[in-house]
Amino acid sequence: MNGTPPQLITYVDRLAGTVAGVQEMLDTRLSGMFGGIHLLPYFTPFDGVDAGFDPRDHTRIDPRLGTWDDVRALSGDAVVMSDVIVNHVSADSDAFLDVRRRGDASPWAPMFLTLDAVFPDGAREDDLARIYRPRPGLPFTVMELGGRKRLVWTTFTADQVDIDLRTEVAWDYLTSVLDALGAAGVTMLRLDAVGYTGKEAGTDCFMTASTDRYTRRILELAHDRGMRVLLEVHGHFTQQIDIARSVDYVYDFALPPLLLHALHAHDLRPLAQWLDVRPANTITVLDTHDGIGIVDVGESDLKPGVPGLLAPAQIDALVEAIHDASGGTSRLATGAAASNLDLYQVNCTYYDAVGADDRAYLLARLVQLMVPGVPQVYYVGLFAGRNDVELLRATGVGRDVNRHHYTADEIDLELERPVVRALGELLRLRAAHPAFDGTFTADLADTRGLLRWEQGAHRVTMELDVAQRSFTLTATDGDADWRRTVDELLAGA
């Protein structure tokens, strides 16, 4: 697992336009960097209200992006991961539109969740106030179903209608999605928003016993089809440790804010604490299509009385440090300043979060590549991208600040930047060096530390200093050692 090559995570349209274009880019300009790719939603349509996470048809690739044959061809060269959007579908899906017309007479009616399906005896104020939701307000939208006004469960937006996994019609739907992906050669699944599926009266409706049962059922379906499963859950760090025992992979969402804390506060101790307890079966990230998670290192109502990896004052200082480092552009995209807001994330590119400092950025990326797990690099992060304030102002969607649309000419220019060239060199080292199949050790103090991989005579060692934003990388190269400082990497030495 530790020797698994890095993965790229990208939108098809925002990087290369088509699936075939993505494959061509992996084969040429990004050659040797990645052994896998997570294609963010490319289903019909890929450009809905939530950038593809609201599919009208989850079993069809959007024809503007390519065909299933294109995905199948890509899977011959790389491990392909796709999203399975477990919690909801588009309110414009054929199935839900039929329910809107016919109400309970529609064969699809049992698939969609209403308030009274969870609270048949009615919900009290305490019941509603207890429901955990990533955004302000209650997760219901008044809709007319077959001529009758109902409270439909909409956890994320009114355009995304929750499905009821207590019903077989919902499982028939999910099985059809897995079958379509499997037939196209997809071998890794990311379960999106699965934590919200287990709505139960008397609970906060998040990560309940039902959620666990549903996850295990999806795991069985996936494993029967030769697929591995990544679970996406934001929450208290102890939850990730617990969840990791029962799935193939979890995200290491704690790593991004802990590295930012280390760089801004000159303090490696919380990261050292995390490295002592974190699971090994992780997908490591610094950035994704979402914001930088904060709840993953803080206290949580989901684990009352259990401290986080960072204290509340440290988190407050970290958020302000990110806003200052980005010149205030992340503040424009975060919280009440932008729609599609999440209460637990800061919307910012990782490069801007470290103040567009090439040395700090490469240090953070190298730590990501060094810790155990499968490193996954977001397409904007691959190019050390800046906050796209123009796109943010055009859409009003906070996350769009980190979802730039790259042209082919832009990519050519970005690949010539020293920081991007150096990151490519580090990715190729991580993809090919045999030491990463061996044993990992870490020794971190207040501001300085050492990370090392060893297998027999093969070694890769990183000595780092977060106060100086510097590192030295040493790796075996035949009978000799290859050694570079951060400045030498940036200079192309």
Give the active site residues: 192, 232
The C-alpha torsion from 95 through 182 and 69 to 36, rounded to 10°, is: 120
Rounded to the nearest 5 degrees, what angle is found at the Cα of 229, between the Cα atoms of 382 and 171?
Answer: 125
Distance in angstroms (rounded) separating the CA atoms of residues 483 and 274: 28
Q: In what helix (H) or strand (E) does residue 423 lie, and over which residues does it extend?
A: helix 418-432
The amino acid at 419? V
Q: Are strands 7-10 and 374-378 parallel, antiparallel or unpaired?
A: parallel
User: Would you tell me how many other CB atoms lie within 10 Å of the CB of residue 155?
Assistant: 24
CA 327 to chain centre: 25
- Other CB atoms within a 10 A radius of the CB of residue 1 amount to 13
SS3 336: helix
Contacts of 212 (CB under 8 A, 6+ apart): 198, 246
180: Cβ–Cβ under 8 A, 6 or more apart, which residues? 58, 59, 60, 68
Rg (CA), the chain: 22
3-class secondary structure, 146: coil
Q: Give yes or no for a contact between 214 and 224, defined as CB atoms under 8 angstroms apart.
A: no
Torsion-angle region of 480 (φ positive above 0: left; ψ -120 to 50: alpha; else: beta): beta
For residue 45, whether the previous peptide bond is cis, meaning omega lies within 30 degrees of 0, is yes
Q: Report the Cα 206 to chain-centroid distance in Å.
A: 18
One DSSP character per residue, 273-333 reads HHHHH--SSEEE-S--SS-EESTTTS--TTSTT---SS-HHHHHHHHHHHHHHTTTHHHHH
Residue 176, Cβ neighbours under 10 Å: how many? 12
β-bridge partners, 450: 443, 463
